[in-house]
Structure 1
Amino acid sequence: MKPRIAVLGCGYWGSNHIRTLKSLGALSAVSDANLARAEGFASEHDCRAVAPDALFDDPQVDAVVMALPPQFHAEYAIRAVEAGKDVLVEKPVALNVEDAERAVRAGREAGRIYMVGHVLRFHPAFETLKSLIDAGELGEVRYIHSHRLGLGKFHTENDALWDLAPHDLSMILAITGAPPIEVRGEGAALLDHLSDFAHLHMHFANGLRSHLFASRLNPYRERRLTVVGTKAMAVFDDVEPWGRKLAVYRHAVWQDSGQWAFTANEPTYVPVEEGMPLTRELEHFIGCIETRAEPRTTGEEAIEVLRILTAGTVTHD
């Protein structure tokens, strides 16, 4: 039998978890501080509605997916793992490094799975990009830049950096295999005191550089990760249709008689298996529960993401 998983938090992203877990045959219960909301989802998806305080001692729940406002993630994750439940915690896992460290340590000491919802790590295009990098197809990676732009969503607790950047930081850390040694942030707040635009500039020990641009006040959507290597460049563009989501550019640059020359080649579009990242993420979580394997997106990685966010945060009066 599949693990029995409850979803704590029935908001926008929690509802996606609920539908996906139901389709995978693993949804046991739903829970929300607004009991009427939880009961509505329970009725729709033929499962139980459980009050948050009763969830952790529920013998019919093996694991909990947490899609809460981030200030509650650490507290509830600790309660869950200490009650013997495995957890998948949505990003960001906390609002400060100390709370995240406490929660991850509690999960480790309890011997529970502590997975983080960095969903784009499970995107087939990113998985294919990572395999190309690992196989040396791009040569030595020298630069990574990511753009995550659009209009909304607007939060009272999270600015554009904390809301949007964790996705890209998780992908960047997966490629670099190590955290940056230097982080510099820039931000601009137009609506209130929270940044609506954010830039992060990162420097890694091996000389690799990276920058990230996030905006929630942009007139168009952009979801693009670019990796520049010594042999080729690759672009993961999630706005493009499946046949064009991953492009490899084999441009050539060289010196001729002391002058730089180059050839610009047309992109090669790499075939990518179609699949929903959230479905693949939850399938991975179920597999980790069943096999006790370490998740691809660990709590330790989430702590590194929080360290970068903290270092790059710009405060506004």
Structure 2
Amino acid sequence: MAPRIAVLGCGYWGNNHTRTLKGLGVLAAVSDIDPARSAKFAADYDVAQISVDDLFASKDIDAIVMALPAQFHAQYAIRAVESGKDVLVEKPIALTVADGEAEIATAKQHGRIFMVGHILRFHPAFEKLLELAQSGELGKIGYIQAHRIGLGKFHGQNDALWDLAPHDLSMILALTGCEPTAVRGEGAAMVDHLSDFAHLHMEFPNGIRSHLFASRLNPIMDRRLAVVGDKAMAVFDDAEPWERKLTLFRHKVWQENGQIAFTKADPEYVPVQEGMPLTRELEHFIHCIETRETPRTNGEEAVSVLRILTKGTVSHPAG
């Protein structure tokens, strides 16, 4: 029997999860601390509305997708796994490393699936990029650069780093296979006391360096992840159409007579099968519920992201 999944949190991402789970035939209920909001979702998607307390107590719910403000994720995720529910928690899973570790420990103690909503790990273009990197097609990777900028939503609790960077940090961790040994962050606030811009510089034990730039106050939208190897370079650009989302550049750079020389190659557009990342993410969650397999985006990775965010956080009051 297919798992019965409820959505807790009837906001923007809750709506996306609700619609997708409905399409997958596993949506059992919706819940929100505001009954009027969950009632609207229930009517829109022809599904049961349930109070938060009843949600955790219900024997008819197998799993919960949590799309809450980040400051509430830890307490409700812990309550859910203690109630015998598997969970998918949106990013970030908590606002402190200690809370994140408590979530993971409790899920393990109760034998529950704990998955994190690092959605871009399920993007077909990133999956292909990871395949290229792991197969040696790019050679030895030395540098990874991520840009996630644009004019975006402003949150009263999270700055640009905590709001935007988890997406790219999850992908960078998958590419490097380890946590950075050094993290340095820079930020700036223009609108309020929270940083609207964030630069993150990371050094990894395997020699890889990485730079991440996140901004929600930029006139240009940029969604690029570039991976530089000694055989080739690749760029995942999510703003491009499907046929151009993943590009391979077989540029060559070498030293000759004490000088650095290079040749540029024409871009090669790598074929990528189209697919909705959220649908693929939730299909993976369902698979993990049914098989008890550890999710690709698990709690340990989410805590690694929290550690990086914590080390890279710089408070800059608005001037």
Q: TM-score range by the shorter chain?
A: over 0.9
Aligned twin of 1:149 = 149
1:280 aligns with 2:274: no
CA–CA distance in structure 1, aligned partners of residues 260 and 122 of structure 2:
39
CA–CA distance in structure 1, aligned partners of residues 82 and 254 of structure 2:
58
**2:37 partner SS:** helix
CA–CA distance in structure 2, aligned partners of residues 311 and 256 of structure 1:
40
Summarize deviations over 1:102-141 as a string: whole Å, max 9, x none.
1110001000000000000000000000011111000011
Amino acid at match of 1:182: A
CA–CA distance in structure 2, aligned partners of residues 296 and 315 of structure 1:
32
CA shift at 1:259, angstroms? 2.0
Summarize deviations over 1:201-231 as a string: whole Å, max 9, x none.
0001121100100000000111000000010
Summarize deviations over 1:273-310 as a string: whole Å, max 9, x none.
10000000000000000000000001011001000000
Amino acid at match of 1:24: L
Aligned twin of 2:172 = 172
CA shift at 1:94, angstroms? 0.4
CA–CA distance in structure 1, aligned partners of residues 257 and 170 of structure 2:
42
How many equivalent pairs are there? 317
Summarize deviations over 1:255-287 as a string: whole Å, max 9, x none.
233222111111100000100000000000000
The 5 A counterparts of 1:253-268 are 253-268=253-268
**1:148 partner SS:** strand
CA–CA distance in structure 2, aligned partners of residues 20 and 222 of structure 1:
26
**1:56 partner SS:** helix
Aligned twin of 1:199 = 199
Unaligned runs of 5+ in 2: none
CA–CA distance in structure 2, aligned partners of residues 60 and 74 of structure 1:
23
CA–CA distance in structure 1, aligned partners of residues 259 and 251 of structure 2:
17
CA–CA distance in structure 1, aligned partners of residues 222 and 48 of structure 2:
39
CA–CA distance in structure 2, aligned partners of residues 66 and 286 of structure 1:
15
Q: Percent identity?
A: 69
User: What is the TM-score of this pair, normalised by structure 2?
Assistant: 0.98
The 5 A counterparts of 1:275-314 are 275-314=275-314
Summarize deviations over 1:66-125 as a string: whole Å, max 9, x none.
000011101000110011000000000000001111111000100000000000000000
CA–CA distance in structure 2, aligned partners of residues 263 and 32 of structure 1:
57
The Cα RMSD (Å) is: 0.7
The 5 A counterparts of 1:117-266 are 117-266=117-266
CA shift at 1:36, angstroms? 1.0
Amino acid at match of 2:149: L
Unaligned runs of 5+ in 1: none
Aligned twin of 1:101 = 101
CA–CA distance in structure 1, aligned partners of residues 264 and 48 of structure 2:
58
Aligned twin of 1:2 = 2
Aligned twin of 1:85 = 85
CA–CA distance in structure 2, aligned partners of residues 255 and 304 of structure 1:
37
CA–CA distance in structure 2, aligned partners of residues 126 and 236 of structure 1:
7
User: What is the TM-score of this pair, normalised by structure 1?
Assistant: 0.99
CA–CA distance in structure 1, aligned partners of residues 252 and 66 of structure 2:
47
CA–CA distance in structure 1, aligned partners of residues 221 and 156 of structure 2:
22
CA shift at 1:45, angstroms? 1.1
CA–CA distance in structure 2, aligned partners of residues 254 and 113 of structure 1:
48
CA–CA distance in structure 1, aligned partners of residues 202 and 93 of structure 2:
21
CA–CA distance in structure 2, aligned partners of residues 280 and 315 of structure 1:
36
Structure 1 runs of 4+ aligned residues shifted over 4 Å read none
Aligned twin of 1:65 = 65
